[in-house]
Amino acid sequence: MRIWMPLRITLAHGIRGGMERQSDTLARGLVDLGHAVTVVTTAHPGGERVEMVDGVEILYVPGSTWRRYQSSWWRNSYRLLAHRHIYTPYDLILSQSAGGLGYLAQARRDLALPSVVIFHGSSRGEIITAWRGARSPRGIYRL
């Protein structure tokens, strides 16, 4: 199975939180089971665009930041998914937290890709994080 995994933050960004460690363990475990996993994330601090880590392909979207979700990151990562899906179709979107919500409905409609979303933390924590990261009330909806 080919799996597309959108993540705003990875271990490469220098963040060692629970979601980042869990996502890394999950991606490596899926590769160990024989699946092809592509992680798409925000710009790499060192400028890399693509790397392979223990069999996991990691694509970094330039011009984006891990500090908050941006509509440009969702748009550019979706374009990347749609382009790659033409040549070698993906079987599943596996979204950690809200990483794929920006284009999840569009991918389901346009590419007929099934999706799984894993939310981390509590509802209260998600609301607080959304509130702090939003620049406007509409920004809260996008998170």
CA dihedral 21, 92, 119, 128 (to 10 degrees): 100
Q: Dump pLDDT digits (tens) for 80-95.
A: 889 999 999 999 988 8
Task: Find, among 80, 86, 125, the residue nearest to 100 by Cα.
Answer: 80
Task: Give the pLDDT confidence score for residue 97 in this predicted structure.
Answer: 67
Please report which confidence band the pLDDT of residue 15 belongs to, taking 50, 70 and 90 as the band edges. confident
pTM: 0.76
